[in-house]
Amino acid sequence: MTSKIYKNTSSIHSPFSNYTHCVEVTSPTKILFCSGQVPATKDGRLLDSSSFEKQGELVVENLAKVLSNSGAKLSDVVKLVTYLRRAQDVPLVRELLARHFPENPPANSVCVVQCLTHEDILIEIEATAVL
């Protein structure tokens, strides 16, 4: 059985939003490294950049489907790397992740980048999960 210990330390600042400073994993039976998911529909159509919220929801849905294909759930995620095109979307991504990871949030790094692989992509999320 996989044991995950979610650790925040009082020797540094509290997390700024819904993440954990460190997730300790002991004896995983399976580790999944998920490529960055983008706001693309099943037929490969990218959502336009008019709604960060719609893009974010589709990215998380896609991530959940990738995980499910290997028998995992969002609650099995221990680490995220979130890429944003606009710094103004940081509060929105915090809300998005708080909705989808309400308990024991994974460790997370948020990077604001100049561009992603297509000009309409506002968010991309990659994940590591353990089962």
Q: What is the pLDDT of residue 21?
A: 84
- Residue 57's Cβ-side half-sphere holds a number of Cα atoms within 13 Å equal to 4
Distance between first and last Cα of the chain: 8
Q: What is the pLDDT of residues 60-109, one digit of tens each?
A: 999 999 999 999 999 999 999 999 999 999 999 999 999 999 999 999 99
For residues 14-52, one letter each, b for 16 or more C-beta atoms within 10 angstroms of the residue's C-beta and e for the rest, the string is: eeeebbbeebeeeebeeebebebbbbbeeeeebbebeeb
Mean pLDDT, the chain, rounded, equals: 93
Is the per-residue pLDDT at 1 higher than 70? no
Task: Considering the domain delimited by 3-130, tell me its CATH architecture.
Answer: 2-Layer Sandwich (3.30)
> Among all chains, which residue has been given the structure tokens 């819904």?
18
Angle at CA 114, nearest 5°, toward 111 and 119?
115
* Domain boundaries defined on the chain: 3-130
Q: What is the pLDDT of residues 7-54, one digit of tens each?
A: 888 877 888 877 888 887 888 788 999 999 999 999 999 999 999 999
Q: What is the pLDDT of residue 26?
A: 81
pTM of the model: 0.88
